[in-house]
Structure 1
Amino acid sequence: MSKVAKNMTRVNLGFDIGIASVGWSVLDNQTGKILETGVSIFPSGSASRNEERRSFRQSRRLIRRKKARICDMDHFLAKHGFPFPGNTGANPYEIRVKGLTEKLSREEVAIALHHLVKRRGISYDLKDVEDESAGGTNYQESIAVNQRLLKKETPAEIQLARLTECGKVRGQVKSLGEDNTPTTLLNVFPNAAYQEEMVKLLKKQQEFYGEIDDSFMETAIGILSRKREYFIGPGSEKSRTDYGIYRTDGTTLKNLFEILVGKDKIFPDQYRAAGNSYTAQLYNLLNDLNNLEVDATEDGKLTTAHKKQIIEALTTTTGNVNMLKLIAKVAGTSPAGIKKYRVDREGKPEFHSLMIYRRLRKKLGENGIEINEWPPDFFDDYGPIVTLNTESGELRKWLAEEGSRNYNFLTEPVVEAILANKSAFDSVGKNKWHRFSLKTMQLLIPELLHTSKEQMTILAEMGLLHENKKDYGDQNKVDVKYLTENLYNPVVRKSVKQAMDIFNALFEKYANIDYVVIEMPRDDAEDEQEQKKQFQKFQLKNEKEKDASLKEFQELAGVSDLQLEAQLRKRKKLRQKIRMWYQQRGKCPYSGKTIAAVDLFHQDNQFEIDHIIPLSVSFDDGQNNKVLCYSEMNQEKGKQTPYAFMSRGGGQGFSALQAYVKSNNRLENAKKRNLLFTEDINDLEVRKRFIARNLVDTRYASRIVLNELQQFVRSKELDTRVTVIRGKLTSKLRDRWRLNKSRETHHHHAVDAAVIAVSPMLKMWEKNAEIIPLKVDENTVDLKSGEIITDQEYAAQMYELPYARFLEQMPELHKKIKFHHQVDKKMNRKVSDATLYSTRKAKVGTDKKEQEYVIGKIKDIYQFDQYKKFKKLYDADKSKFLMQRLDPQTFAKLEKIMEEYPAKIDAIQPNGTIKLVDISPFELYRREHGPVTKYAKKNNGPAIKSLKFYDSKVGSSIKITPENAKGKEVILQSLKPWRTDVYYNHEKQQYEIMGIKYADLRFKGDNYGITKARYQEIKEEEGVSEESEFLFSLYRGDRIQVSNGEDKIDLLFVSRTLPKQKGYVELKPIDRNQLNGKEVVSVYGAASGGRLKKQFVKKNHTLHKVNTDILGNPFYIKKEGNQPKNILDL
């Protein structure tokens, strides 16, 4: 088949990459016509979902290993004549305690050791236990109780006492203290305590059984204590897996986390250094110092002596350090004489300052420990350990073993002090790992110290810079897998993959691509739901400020609602001016004069909105670069920054401006940074930094994409120019061109992409500046910068439409937008919710025969919220409680307590007042008599805490009942749908469907699928005739078209739904996430609650499956194959 001829039109490609969508547009850059445009929609990547999967995978591994230990212990015991009798009903705690002082039978020895291995405690010492439940003081108090008791008793003795007194051992055990106050006890004991108990028990039994010798004890304790090191991961030499150190390619790593740390690009065999290592901190400091310009030295650079003096000062001081003042003092100049330093988001100077080292020195110094006496190698060695581990037990192990072997200063008090202050080693933000290895930095540090060269120059001179660029000369597609390997955020990685697939399709179609312009999602992008929350939060904050500004202005101006509304309609900019007036607390920041509300209302032409930093420098037309000022101040300031204007004697003076800005908490930090900006805007490097901040996107992920696409077009020897721009430019262009943005549908992604595609054609780039960078590094961008022009000239050049008739096509653009939706065919997904439900058969309420019910539980009758739930169910139908049916005498005790004890009591508040508060009657009873107990003749029944009840009828579920269960079932609910197969019954002339769930799938050999037998069962359950013809399969995200002869509509397939109603499915619109309430849909009728759950295809209707390519081009098919796929022939 011959290839389709390429389109020879000269075009621009625009990409609006979001977290769950990619909008794209192709623009004819000669005429401004949008040739084609579309949107790709897909589920966003999610770090939280990855974490959830890892958590479940870890749980499964732990359970497997626990079973293996128990099995090994049982085999070992049986081999030596101590057979484990199974579940005999014997109390293992009583047997373990008895075995410490008395002879046990052979079966009892087996029960005791089996139970010890089954419940073997935590792997670290109690003093290293950290509160993971946010319980705070109560948690630590409970651990302290256990520590105290372990000095005299074994875990078994403690546990048996709690079982006897409280009726419970595991979880949180509620008990009454000596002063009758509630106390929480936890079943948390170290494995070492269980080992001591086993030794004690076996030594006693050694007196009665000759088989229990030292070798027996050593093996038994080995099984009890064995634990895989955290850095090994799953797998073994014989069973290799890429989730552990034993890789499937035959290599064996020393540490699993080596993969996560990453390699140094200078020395690819070396791992990146920890950010808290001394070498990394020193390197960062010297690199910052070498980038500075100092007016007190001949060459404008700090000398070696200066740098040594600064290091000395930092390593010997214990107080806070102002780096700018320190450097100025050492260099013999003022802070104003220091230039070219980094600034933070608030515009303040930012330096590396050995912060972690200084923080640790201060903390340990409080214990009389001087870390300046320690070798730097210790921090380099311990840095990765403390970065990778959060558990004190693992840190203690390294310090006590490997650390002590290499560093003799690690005495027990020093180790305890290090562990107590482990938070001092924490790195800030994303700086846990340095981009260089220790080897690279140790090569660079001497050069940084003794010269004024920056790192890249030194690396180049050493011959260590080697470009690792892919040659695309013989490839016609960007290597998407190669590109995304270096994108670590799963949300961004997934979005970029989709965008590059679209780019490859467009590159194959268009021969003359002049510009590729991309807008990227944030590096720290969360999933779609999190993004919506952040957007709603931002909107709410804005609305609150708008309302507050109007309210305060109206009060001070003394005008009525009608007067204010009339003036706002008359003067369009007045609303914006009022908001700025509110933010500025009624002051002109340039003159320092008050702007009276009444003057702004009646004579707002006296006041103008000024760009703090000229637009042609900052490229920032946002609110944080605007202030309200007196007109004459705006004219005087002109094309200057406030600092430059006031340094020449203008306005209120810069020191007054600083005081005003710092005292005004209504100003955003970004606006404060702009107002207090002191650098020279005529400096080329300063101009480039503004471009990097507000125009060209220099973030990590953006650099990866930009550099790879540039490499691709260079390898192909094309003139295509590539850039990645900030979203604020697109937003401003839309606003100026009055392209209203509605987020209710997906169309806005394509419109944004069209604006992005047209952005390289703006007049601004013809004369003054360039948005196509030659090179982009971490904080710098290499491109040309134009002259500083007035805001009016900027607006004319930046916002004027490059094509006179560009906007005329917008009203019809929605009809041209093509949609591509990702189809989810993956088989290995979550089968159901993870919650286990117990079921019973019973007649409840109006049931005429027994039905299967899920069993619910009142977890704690002593807590008021749980009592409230109990009371609600009791009042509705007390026969729902199993106790009422199976143990009426105990249930009668509960009813009597409810009659005798109130649900409210008077309680003294912290301020001394008395207030009526809610309380469970059962809690009041417990305070007087102890826990409520089951009915017994001698009143010694077990304690009651929870109650079971018949909750809801069982729906679609999987039974996972253990073989030894009697009279009950255990199920998983909320089974997830996977696929729906569509058949056509020629005899009845109608479509038939059958739904397959993930729970129906099996993994046999190397394949996932559904067995032929199970497929036939579902087919019969769904009423699909054996004579019906298979047409196609539908997955979530598949597109379908339904026609009734008069109308037809394309919709997205969600799943087979309402399993008790044959032929029902859920459908969604193509151009948005859901329908509006009861919106009427062609062919199907009205939705319900925004969801369309209907009979799929009625008689005399026609159904097509619609496949789309990555560009959204539809292909309508009536039949996909003769047989369904993924059927396992077993």
Structure 2
Amino acid sequence: MDKTEVNIGFDIGISSVGWSVVATKSGRILESGVSLFSGASAAKNEERRNFRQSRRLLRRRKNRISDLKKYLTEQGFTYNEKLINENPYEIRVKGLTEKLSKEEIATALLHIVKRRGVSYDLGDIEEEGTTGSYKEGVKKNQKLLKEKTPAEIQLQRLKNFHKVRGQIIIDENDVLLNVFPNHAYVDEAKQILAVQQEFYPEIDEAFINRVTDFISRKRDYFIGPGSEKSRTDYGIYRTDGTTLQNLFSILIGKDKIFPDEFRAAGNSYTAQIYNLLNDLNNLAIDDTETGKLTKQQKEKIITELKTTEKNVNMMKLIAKTAGVTVEQISRYRINRDGKPEIHNMPVYRKIRKVFLELGYEINEWPEQLLDDLGDALSLNTENGEIRRILTDNLADKYTILDQQLINLIIENKNAFTLSTNQKWHRFSYKTMKILIPELLETNKEQMTILTEMGLMKKDQRNYAGKNKIDSEALLENLYNPVVRKSTRQTMKLFNTLLKKYPNIAYVVIEMPREDDEDKARRDYVKFQKDNEKEKDAALKNFIMESGKSEAEVIAKYRQSKKFRSKVRLWYQQMGRCLYSGKAMPAERVFRDDHFTDIDHVIPLSVSFDDGMNNKVLCLAEMNRQKDKQTPYAFFNAGHGQGFQAMSAMLKNNNRISSAKKRNLLFTENLNDLEVRKRFIERNLVDTRYASRVVLNELQQFVKAKQLDTKVTVIRGKFTSKLREKWNINKSRDTHHHHAIDAAVIAVSPMLNLWEKGASIIPNKVGENVIDIKTGEIITDHDYEADVYELPYAKFLEQLPKVKKDIKFRHQVDKKKNRKVSDATIYTTRKAKVGKDKEETDYVLGTIKDIYSLEGYVSFKKIYNKDKTKFLMARIDPKTFEKLEKIVAEYPESIEVVQDNGKVDVQKISPFELYRKDNGFVTKFAKKNNGPAVKSLKYYDSKLGSSIDITPDNAKNKKVVLQSLKPWRTDVYFNEENQEYEIMGLKYSDLKFGKNGKYGVPKVRYEEIKQEERVSEGSKFQYSLYRGDRIKVTNELGESVELLFASRTLPAQKGYVELKPIDKTRFDGKEKVSFYGNVTPNGQFVKKFAKKGYKILKLNTDELGNTYIENGEKEPSDILDM
């Protein structure tokens, strides 16, 4: 235990947590480290859901076919396997007019039930969204179904295009789809059975109804799995004996004010009135007695919104109602485009407009009906279920809700749809109905009202007798899987550090900005590219306008970083000063450093924003006059070109970002405390939901333990600017930067600025409120001196040494139920290819479209190398000769005349040229009427590790899954020859054993041991999982620590892939100590150990301190089956 008073900084990322402990008095970094783990991903959750859904659909289809087959057999209509090669479409079409055998009837019905169409009407599919050729394809099917059955349409297409399923692309504007509604298949089955009734008396109405029930059988999405007899909490039949009406009702969530109440629908009347009043009460109205809207004015705005049929501009409506100008309204929300965002009851107005055209005035409907409709249409999406809810639950309550109106509501259900994904409001109807009268009568915001009414319950945890944060309880309030994972790791680190350093002065946290690692990386790359693009454009423009050479401007760039910013701002502003409206000639900006200044639009001591979006280039005299004011206050004092003139300039400028325009057009009073707090919330203290949860939990803990620790969660942009000003280069090539960032975060409470009344430590952070000291407004010069001056003189000097001592802890992936292999199913054939001496299993590849240029290039590449790789060349040589003849006779390119008259030579597939002249290439047949050739199979590669999933009825081929994923590697030591031996286990080796245990069967384990040539007498050392750390020492005593990735190259004994500890991957061709060189692509694949090497498995504690693992006596998870 260390009694030193310390600051602790946490840099929380999507897949990492950097941490640093800094002595509060001296600024010495005592220790720091990085915890690394695989970031949770919502996309992976979706992928698992989709696979689960696919398995469920296949299982239900199999069950449906089995049930129908069983019923037909009982009725004497037995399915005959001999008919498997008959065309089922021909049988179905024949059955519409002619007698079928009983076996043919079974074949036709089983074929229909196997793929029985979509559950929606085709008109609904068209409405849901598809455009272009898909939409046209759907329309064609709708038209054809008026005269034909699906089988008749499908058989015609099979004859004409040799294809039924998927898309049949005739050309880019003509696409045929195999999409038909379920009721069309039901109708076809009824027609077939109606004809067959004449020949088989056992086909009565009961038989027809039973068969069509199988075809249309579908479990409603809102029911979920389970039944009355087999209850599960994953469906409506709950294990506690209750039965829900709709599975999704439990996913709505509960109101925090009244925990027994469900949240209200976001499209309900009550929610829209509440949202409107809440926004109106937050507004500030200049030149009015109270600075707020009165009750009468709010009522007038509501009435206008409920009765107008025109589009509404809320700013103009409010200004007109309050008798002020739009410029006198402030404190509204801002949308992404930088425009005012005030709720205007959009769903209510949309519903009213639609139903007015149908002869209904919804202003005459009960408000409760609108709320009930909101719930019903938010919870249910299928027409049948909506109809059931309206008919069974609501029709008796409301006399107006007759069958005609129910039909109209269903037909126009899209009118009730919200434009956002937030289907459900955070409050219940009960809470909002308490708040609405108060919001109307007073100018208080909702949190104040709830507090005054005593409805705000303190969510305090009892930490008496506990010495650490209850991370699991904390995570209950975090719903994002990405944030949950990184927060859990942070709380573990905090608990460990608190035990070691009980005297903590400050805990400062920076939360992740994104919740998607890949998206964050893409956004960062895009941001960098956009920045570079603008910088290049600014440089070229400035050189052209100034008359200076590129060398002269670049030379000045090197001399002055500030000049670079001036050029970029000059370019954004199109060479004009926004304050005076005057031109700033590029030549003079270059020549005279005192001609222009860079000004912060909103003073730094208010905005805490030193980014480009808060900077402008202006004439030096304008900067001196503006001083600590906003542009609006500066213009109102009679200076510059005037606010309207600047606004006009901004309107015509597309180079300035919306965020910067928002700052320039800011009209509120900087001396207003609430205004100042909002800037702190935006740019300094992080008040996002997850940040508030973490902050409030830590504050509760330190208060309960009576610690003097102060806690805050700060914005990344603030620490990023500190790092920039202190010249701390951020290299993302290694993981060190996470810990360095954490050190910067840890010292941020010690900046001189906080001694002048402002604070980085909030007393409380709520959803729409932050309680924090703001301090005085000072000049930008004083701000920079106070903020950017190092809080500790020697803070930077220690960073190079500290970097060497940063500790790393990697997540070890021991989880057993991960993806076994890729989902792609491969077919194999035995063949002798090339120089093979005997037949070997080959995986087949497919050229999907020989008529496309890409397909032809693939064909030619294989053909030139070895044409016998094509199955057609061996099995159907006469057809293959037709292909060869086409390749010989038709060119590989054509000349195309461009619009400008020039001739362009374009590559093309000879098969496509043939198709345009003669139609598709067909297989060889005596009457030249063979099926079309569109794709080609070829022997691709020899079969490696795989899972055999070959069905029992397959002949002369295997069906396999490849890319088997490695799970762990067991390490043995052979005392006889003094060498390490390893064996790799895959996820596919894991099986369920007795009592539901999951592991590797002992028999399979011994088989792998023999396959990997592990000696019988070798002694087990330890198991290595992905992320485990090893220490390798050679015979000279040199050592290197590495991360284990996986056993690789299974055909070669003892090869593994290893990774570096301090970065994601090695650099190409990097030398890894005595172990050898990395491949050019950054992979380090080597033999696990040479003779004379000693390899230890290292474990790490929470802080990254290593210790030797010596507790494994035998391999784990080996099952006696």
TM-score over 0.5 (shorter chain): yes
Cα-to-partner distance string for 1:684-717 (whole Å, 9 max, x where unaligned):
0000000000100011111111111112222223
Give me the whole-angstrom Cα distance separating, in 2, the residues matched to 1:69 and 1:1104.
56
Cα-to-partner distance string for 1:11-55 (whole Å, 9 max, x where unaligned):
211100011110001112122121111100111111111100000
Give the alignment partner of residue 471 of structure 1, picking from 462, 466, 481. Answer: 462
Give the equivalent residue in structure 2 for 1:49: 44
User: What are the ranges of 5 or more consecutive residues in structure 2 without an aligned counterpart?
Assistant: none
Alignment-mate amino acid for residue 352 of structure 1: H
Give the equivalent residue in structure 2 for 1:123: 119
Q: Is the 1:369–1:414 contact (alpha carbons within 8 Å) kept by the matching residues of 2?
A: no
Alignment-mate amino acid for residue 1095 of structure 1: K
Give me the whole-angstrom Cα distance separating, in 2, the residues matched to 1:401 and 1:1035.
57
Q: Is the 1:24–1:753 contact (alpha carbons within 8 Å) kept by the matching residues of 2?
A: yes
Q: Is the 2:40–2:481 contact (alpha carbons within 8 Å) kept by the matching residues of 1?
A: yes
Give the equivalent residue in structure 2 for 1:3: none
Cα-to-partner distance string for 1:732-791 (whole Å, 9 max, x where unaligned):
111222211111110010011111111111121122201111111223210111111112
Is 1:873 matched up with 2:869?
no
Give the alignment partner of residue 1011 of structure 2, picking from 1021, 1035, 1057. Answer: 1021
Moved more, 819-828 or 735-744: 735-744
Question: Quick one: structure 1 residues 973 and 486, their matched pair in 2 at CA, closer, same or farther if it must change by over 3 Å?
Answer: same
What's the CA shift for 1:1128? 0.9
Give the alignment partner of residue 1063 of structure 1, picking from 1054, 1069, 1073. Answer: 1054
Give me the whole-angstrom Cα distance separating, in 2, the residues matched to 1:706 and 1:754.
19
Aligned length: 1117
Give the alignment partner of residue 272 of structure 1, picking from 260, 263, 268. Answer: 263
What's the CA shift for 1:379? 4.3
Q: 1:434 aligns to what SS in structure 2? A: coil
Is 1:445 matched up with 2:441?
no
Give the equivalent residue in structure 1 for 2:62: 67
Is 1:624 matched up with 2:624?
no
Give the alignment partner of residue 707 of structure 1, picking from 696, 702, 719. Answer: 696
Q: 2:427 aligns to what SS in structure 1? A: strand
Is 1:351 matched up with 2:342?
yes
Alignment-mate amino acid for residue 10 of structure 2: F
Q: Is the 1:296–1:332 contact (alpha carbons within 8 Å) kept by the matching residues of 2?
A: no
Q: Is the 1:131–1:139 contact (alpha carbons within 8 Å) kept by the matching residues of 2?
A: no
Q: Is the 1:128–1:391 contact (alpha carbons within 8 Å) kept by the matching residues of 2?
A: no
Give the equivalent residue in structure 1 for 2:1099: 1107
Question: Quick one: structure 1 residues 175 and 726, their matched pair in 2 at CA, closer, same or farther if it must change by over 3 Å?
Answer: closer
Q: Where do residues 587-606 of structure 1 align in structure 2 (5 Å cutoff)?
A: 587-606=576-595
Give the equivalent residue in structure 2 for 1:568: 557
Question: Quick one: structure 1 residues 303 and 572, their matched pair in 2 at CA, closer, same or farther if it must change by over 3 Å?
Answer: closer
Alignment-mate amino acid for residue 706 of structure 1: L
Taking structure 1 as the reference length, the TM-score comes to 0.94
Give the equivalent residue in structure 1 for 2:92: 96
Cα-to-partner distance string for 1:278-313 (whole Å, 9 max, x where unaligned):
221111001112233445654444333222211121
Give the equivalent residue in structure 2 for 1:161: 156
What's the CA shift for 1:353? 0.8
Question: Quick one: structure 1 residues 548 and 457, their matched pair in 2 at CA, closer, same or farther if it must change by over 3 Å?
Answer: closer
Question: Quick one: structure 1 residues 241 and 1003, their matched pair in 2 at CA, closer, same or farther if it must change by over 3 Å?
Answer: farther
Give the equivalent residue in structure 1 for 2:80: 85
Question: Quick one: structure 1 residues 807 and 120, their matched pair in 2 at CA, closer, same or farther if it must change by over 3 Å?
Answer: same
Q: Is the 2:327–2:667 contact (alpha carbons within 8 Å) kept by the matching residues of 1?
A: no
Cα-to-partner distance string for 1:263-287 (whole Å, 9 max, x where unaligned):
1112222222232222211110011
Give me the whole-angstrom Cα distance separating, in 1, the residues matched to 2:803 and 2:374.
55
Q: Is the 1:346–1:673 contact (alpha carbons within 8 Å) kept by the matching residues of 2?
A: no
Question: Quick one: structure 1 residues 1053 and 707, their matched pair in 2 at CA, closer, same or farther if it must change by over 3 Å?
Answer: same
Q: Is the 1:1042–1:1083 contact (alpha carbons within 8 Å) kept by the matching residues of 2?
A: no
Alignment-mate amino acid for residue 170 of structure 1: R
Give the equivalent residue in structure 2 for 1:1012: 1002
Give the equivalent residue in structure 2 for 1:233: 224
Cα-to-partner distance string for 1:590-638 (whole Å, 9 max, x where unaligned):
2222111111111112222111111111111112111222222111111
Give me the whole-angstrom Cα distance separating, in 2, the residues matched to 1:772 and 1:555.
49
Give me the whole-angstrom Cα distance separating, in 2, the residues matched to 1:784 and 1:876.
76
Give the equivalent residue in structure 2 for 1:1034: 1024
Is 1:652 matched up with 2:641?
yes
Quick one: percent identity of the two aligned structures?
A: 62
Q: Is the 1:128–1:392 contact (alpha carbons within 8 Å) kept by the matching residues of 2?
A: no
What's the CA shift for 1:666? 1.2
What's the CA shift for 1:1039? 0.5
Give me the whole-angstrom Cα distance separating, in 2, the residues matched to 1:954 and 1:786.
71
Give the equivalent residue in structure 2 for 1:614: 603
Question: Quick one: structure 1 residues 912 and 195, their matched pair in 2 at CA, closer, same or farther if it must change by over 3 Å?
Answer: farther
Alignment-mate amino acid for residue 1084 of structure 2: L
Question: Quick one: structure 1 residues 1064 and 70, their matched pair in 2 at CA, closer, same or farther if it must change by over 3 Å?
Answer: same
Is 1:254 matched up with 2:250?
no
Q: Where do residues 757-906 of structure 1 align in structure 2 (5 Å cutoff)?
A: 757-904=746-893
Give me the whole-angstrom Cα distance separating, in 2, the residues matched to 1:1033 and 1:742.
34
Is 1:284 matched up with 2:280?
no
Question: Quick one: structure 1 residues 166 and 400, their matched pair in 2 at CA, closer, same or farther if it must change by over 3 Å?
Answer: farther
Question: Quick one: structure 1 residues 301 and 395, their matched pair in 2 at CA, closer, same or farther if it must change by over 3 Å?
Answer: same
What's the CA shift for 1:1104? 0.6
Give me the whole-angstrom Cα distance separating, in 2, the residues matched to 1:399 and 1:873.
63
Is 1:311 matched up with 2:302?
yes
Q: 2:5 aligns to what SS in structure 1? A: strand
Give me the whole-angstrom Cα distance separating, in 1, the residues matched to 2:591 and 2:292.
56
Give me the whole-angstrom Cα distance separating, in 1, the residues matched to 2:212 and 2:821.
39
Question: Quick one: structure 1 residues 296 and 28, their matched pair in 2 at CA, closer, same or farther if it must change by over 3 Å?
Answer: closer
Alignment-mate amino acid for residue 986 of structure 1: E
Give me the whole-angstrom Cα distance separating, in 2, the residues matched to 1:1109 and 1:824.
15
What's the CA shift for 1:1083? 2.4
What's the CA shift for 1:261? 2.5
What's the CA shift for 1:815? 2.0
Give me the whole-angstrom Cα distance separating, in 2, the residues matched to 1:781 and 1:461.
18
Give the equivalent residue in structure 1 for 2:1084: 1092
Q: 1:983 aligns to what SS in structure 2? A: strand
Give the equivalent residue in structure 2 for 1:222: 213
Question: Quick one: structure 1 residues 680 and 298, their matched pair in 2 at CA, closer, same or farther if it must change by over 3 Å?
Answer: closer
User: What are the ranges of 5 or more consecutive residues in structure 1 without an aligned counterpart?
Assistant: 1-5
Question: Quick one: structure 1 residues 1051 and 423, their matched pair in 2 at CA, closer, same or farther if it must change by over 3 Å?
Answer: farther
What's the CA shift for 1:343? 3.4
Q: Is the 1:306–1:330 contact (alpha carbons within 8 Å) kept by the matching residues of 2?
A: yes
Give the equivalent residue in structure 1 for 2:528: 539
What's the CA shift for 1:356? 2.7
Q: Is the 1:842–1:850 contact (alpha carbons within 8 Å) kept by the matching residues of 2?
A: yes
Q: Is the 2:133–2:173 contact (alpha carbons within 8 Å) kept by the matching residues of 1?
A: no
Moved more, 502-511 or 78-87: 78-87
Alignment-mate amino acid for residue 1066 of structure 1: E
Give me the whole-angstrom Cα distance separating, in 1, the residues matched to 2:641 and 2:474.
53
Question: Quick one: structure 1 residues 599 and 392, their matched pair in 2 at CA, closer, same or farther if it must change by over 3 Å?
Answer: farther
Give me the whole-angstrom Cα distance separating, in 1, the residues matched to 2:582 and 2:124.
60
Alignment-mate amino acid for residue 269 of structure 2: Y
Alignment-mate amino acid for residue 699 of structure 1: R
Question: Quick one: structure 1 residues 389 and 1051, their matched pair in 2 at CA, closer, same or farther if it must change by over 3 Å?
Answer: farther
Cα-to-partner distance string for 1:500-548 (whole Å, 9 max, x where unaligned):
11112112222112211100012x5212x22222111111111111122
Q: 1:273 aligns to what SS in structure 2? A: coil
Give me the whole-angstrom Cα distance separating, in 1, the residues matched to 2:408 and 2:906.
45
Give me the whole-angstrom Cα distance separating, in 2, the residues matched to 1:396 and 1:184.
35
Q: Is the 2:1033–2:1093 contact (alpha carbons within 8 Å) kept by the matching residues of 1?
A: yes
Question: Quick one: structure 1 residues 219 and 477, their matched pair in 2 at CA, closer, same or farther if it must change by over 3 Å?
Answer: farther
